[in-house]
Amino acid sequence: MLRWLVQTAVLFGVLFGVVVGGRLVLNQLLQHPAPRAVEAQERITTPATTAIPVAPSPTPLATVTLPDDRAAGLTRPTPPPARSTPSPTPTLPPHGQTAPVPILMYHYIRPKPANDPLGAALSVDPETFAAQMDWLAAHGYTTLTLHELAEVRAGKIGLPPKPIVLTFDDGYRDFYTAAWPVLKRHGFKATIFIITGVVGNPQYMTWDMLRELDRSGLVEVGGHTVHHLDLTQLNASALEHEVADCKQTLETQLGHPIESFAYPAGRFNETVVSAVQRAGFTLAVTTKPGWARATDAPLVLPRVRIQGDLTLAGFADILGS
Ligand SMILES: [Zn+2]
């Protein structure tokens, strides 16, 4: 009897072990597919991101192909249906980065001066400017700084719908008094190009104004040389001084790296572009007309000039609406 009891107990023990062990194995099998799917998903995504070549700096002028084209063409794998939790932070930005981006170019935001045709062409009336900004807001545009455009081009952030970059050359004081209140009201971002040699002069902004704008998080300060000379006409050391010292002064005054540059009067050649690259600027804008494409070389981006006499209909037309 005792023997029978022992045998039964042993049998039960074995059976119990088999059942529990089996369930554990079964659980293992059941649980495995999900992590494997994630792993597979990551394996598919990983090469896509790591395969994107990082644009080397120094980048040759004419032969720049940005990684965005290929990155944008890749489709992210669909998450496995069994997973209800969202997949981890996407490794690719959600929007295509091949879309051209208009970089608008402003100078003065002031009433048109009389008897000064050039000054008038460079001046956008404050009311006209406000109407243009209202129009952008009403039509769902998202403003980016040039620094952010560089991040888009590097694949670090996605391109928002209806992206636009607003740039203001020369650092005139009317940016602070007339443009900035309008931009701030809309929460719009802008990039301003500063001639360091004239900061604080009556017509130009002061370092205190520039620091305030810089701290706002909405305005990126970029370089526009020390004296606003035609850079194609300078000797090597003068060119170096105009480009590198401008950057150095801005960085000392604002306490952080300066990344964007605008060529005075849009004048540049290969020597000038090399100096801008050597100084360490990431993006530079010209006065060449056009929208900035992902395939454009980063140091010679075109812009869209906003003339003083442009009507609101003309403004809408330029932006293709
Ligand atoms: Zn200028």
Q: What is the CATH number of the domain that holds 232?
A: 3.20.20.370
Structure tokens at 225: 């040389």
Look at residue 68 and tell me if it is in a domain.
Answer: no
Q: Are residues 12 and 138 in the same domain?
A: no
295 CA → ligand 1 middle, Å: 25
**Ligand 1 centroid from CA 265, angstroms:** 5
pLDDT band, residue 7 (cuts 50/70/90) = low
Contact 173, 210 (CB under 8 A): no
Amino acid at 104: L
- Match 């690259």 to its residue by tokens: 277
In a domain, 93, yes or no: no
The mean pLDDT of the chain is 78
- How many residues comprise the chain? 321
- Give the whole-angstrom CA distance, residue 108 versus residue 291: 21
- Which of 62, 80, 112 terminates a domain? The answer is 62
Which residue, among 85, 273, 109, has the nearest Cα to 176 in the 3D structure? 109
260: its two tokens: 């964007």
User: What are the residues whose beta carbons fall under 8 Å from the beta carbon of 21, sequence distance 6 or more?
Assistant: none
204: Cβ–Cβ under 8 A, 6 or more apart, which residues? 170, 171, 172, 173, 195, 198
CA 148 / ligand 1 centre spacing (Å): 22
**228 Cα–ligand 1 center, Å:** 6
Digit-coded pLDDT (tens) for 131-163: 999 999 999 999 999 999 999 999 999 999 999
Same domain, 124 and 191: yes
Q: CA dist 320 to 139, 287, 310, 311, 315, Å? A: 12, 20, 15, 14, 9
User: Is residue 289 domain-shared with residue 142, that is, in the same domain?
Assistant: yes
pLDDT (average), residues 1-18: 47
Domain that holds residue 238: 103-318
Same domain, 186 and 312: yes
Residue 138 lies in a domain: yes
Taking the centre of ligand 1 as the mean of its atom positions, its distance from the CA of residue 163, in whole angstroms, is: 24
Q: Does 240 share its domain with 164?
A: yes
Q: Are 108 and 306 in contact (CB under 8 A)?
A: no
CB 247 within 8 A of CB 280: yes
For the whole prediction, is pTM greater than 0.75? no
Please give the distance, rounded to the nearest whole angstrom, from the Cα atom of residue 197 to the centre of ligand 1.
13
Domain assignment present for 87: no
Q: Residue 88: how many CA atoms within 13 Å on its side-chain side?
A: 8
Interval 195-227: pLDDT, tens: 999 999 999 999 999 999 999 999 999 999 999
Structural contact between residues 211 and 240, judged by C-beta atoms closer than 8 angstroms: no
- Average the pLDDT over each of 123-127, 154-158, 259-263 and give the range with the smallest value: 154-158
- Per-residue confidence (pLDDT) for residue 98, from 0 to 100: 67
Report CA-CA distances (Å) from 130 to 118, 146, 165, 235: 22, 21, 16, 42
Q: What is the model's pLDDT at position 321?
A: 72
81 domain-assigned? no
Pairwise CA distance, residues 304 & 193, whole Å: 16
Of 13-27, 155-169, 263-277, the least confident:
13-27
Q: At what angle do helices 33-50 and 2-31 cross, to 10 degrees?
A: 30
Let me know whether 200 and 298 are in one domain.
yes
Percent residues over pLDDT 70 in the chain: 69
pLDDT for res 252 = 98
Residue 193 within any structural domain of the chain: yes
**Residue located via tokens 């004419």:** 62
Q: How many CB atoms lie within 10 A of CB 278?
A: 12
**DSSP structure string for 129-156:** HHHHHHHHHHTT-EEE-HHHHHHHHTTS
Expressed in angstroms and rounded, the spacing between residue 34 Cα and the centre of ligand 1 is 58
Amino acid 260 reads S
Residue 148 shares a structural domain with residue 291: yes
User: What distances in angstroms separate CA 85 from CA 81, 82, 88, 89, 101, one per listed residue?
Assistant: 10, 9, 9, 12, 35
Query: Ranked by mean pLDDT, which of 76-80, 87-91, 284-288 comes out on top?
Result: 284-288
Convert the pLDDT of each residue in 54-72 to its tens digit. 333 333 333 332 232 222 2
Residue 10 predicted with pLDDT over 50 = no
pLDDT in tens, 165-190: 999 999 999 999 999 999 999 999 99
Phi, psi of 149 (to 5 degrees): -65, -35
Q: How far apart are CA 205 and CA 261, in angstroms?
A: 18
Looking up tokens 């000064």, which residue turns up? 116
Ligand 1 centre from 7 Cα, in Å?
98
Same domain, 137 and 25: no
* Count of the separate structural domains present in the chain: 2
Does 232 lie in the same domain as 153? yes
- Whether 258 maps to a domain, the answer reads yes
Name the residue type at position 300. V
114 with 48, same domain: the answer is no
Q: Are residues 190 and 49 in the same domain?
A: no
Q: Is residue 35 part of a domain?
A: yes
pLDDT, tens digit (0-9, with 9 covering 90-100), for 20-52? 444 433 333 333 333 333 223 322 222 233 333
The answer to whether residue 16 scores a pLDDT higher than 80 is: no
